[in-house]
Amino acid sequence: MALLMEVREAITSVTGSVGPSLVGVGQRWGVGSGVVLEAGKVLTNAHNIRGDEVQVTFADGRTATGTIAGVDADGDLAVVNVDTKDAPPIAWAESDDVGVGTPVLALANPGGRGLRVTVGLVTGTERSFRGPRGRRITGSIEHTAPLLPGSSGGPIVDEDGRLLGLNTNRIGEGFYLAIPADSSLRERVTALSRGETPTRPRLGVAIAPPHVARHLRRAVGLSDADGLLVRGVDEDGPAGKAGIREGDLITAAAGKPLGDPDELHAVLDKLKSGATLTLTVLRGSEERQVTVSFA
């Protein structure tokens, strides 16, 4: 009983200190949570944002319309400009050192429907998952504090209510992932607050992984080949303008064989503005070289 009372005291304390910094993001469908960063700024996940404006609901029930300061869709982060009035900013943890066994409290205000607080433990670090656009997000904190739908964008905090991470992904079986509130996140959030939305070279294609590509090639009588199957093309994107078509199999980029989407992203991330990239493509059984321009 004494242990439960200690947990209760911790929850009560953290709720009182952090609760006013929590916000709900969105309404009806696609709702999420967020935290006040500073006066006029709210941090949330990019996947919680729909369009250029978003409804923000504060802990006292007040609602306001926010506009997007900056979005990192690949990193699943967004900063919203909104009138925060007296809502206090969340405090950041002083250390980046979060290890297995660290107790955490997860807070959320799903779409402004009321504060939720749960307790758990860190069960892993340096975990990875795919973001909204398919790029791998690394370095995440895995924990067991249960989260309701709409909790993404809410924080995990320590016993003193200091920010340890931003919840972003549910991985099933009672485990959840949070983007760590480390020095890298501080830098990214600061840039987004200034409106510096990062840009990364994009082909403008939707792709299927190698095992799907092999299955589909067999189904139509084509020989096995490793690569990434193009299942959709933005005709106005770099790949579409270069002549890439739906059904093409991209087997190499800049001469590097492609075994999974991460290898393609690694090649793209090294490109400078205005660069070109040569892709090796199988169209049916015919191999061809396609030069894609990112001018």
Reported in sequence order, the residue ranges of 82-193 that DSSP labels E, i.e. its strands, are 103-108, 116-130, 136-143, 155-157, 163-172, 175-180
- Contact of 58 with 87, CB cutoff 8 Å: yes
Please state, in angstroms and as integers, the Cα–Cα distance from residue 27 to each residue in 92, 255, 261, following that order: 28, 47, 33
Task: Calculate the CA 173 to chain-centre distance.
Answer: 20
The pLDDT of residue 264: 87
pLDDT category of residue 228 using cuts at 50, 70 and 90: confident
The hierarchical CATH code for the domain 1-193 is 2.40.10.120
pTM: 0.79
Q: Provide the token pair at 147.
A: 């989260």
Query: What type of residue is 262?
Result: D
pLDDT at 165 over 90: yes
What end-to-end distance do the CA atoms of the chain give, in Å? 65
Q: Which CATH class is domain 205-293?
A: mainly beta
pLDDT category of residue 274 using cuts at 50, 70 and 90: confident
The pLDDT of residue 180: 94
Q: Which of the 8 DSSP states describes residue 145? A: -
- Contact of 35 with 163, CB cutoff 8 Å: yes
- Please give the Cα distance from 39 to 41 (Å, whole number): 6
pLDDT at 30 over 90: no
The pLDDT of residue 263: 87
Q: What is the domain partition of the chain in residue ranges?
A: 1-193, 205-293
Q: Hey, do 1-193 and 205-293 end up sharing a CATH topology, with the first three levels equal?
A: no
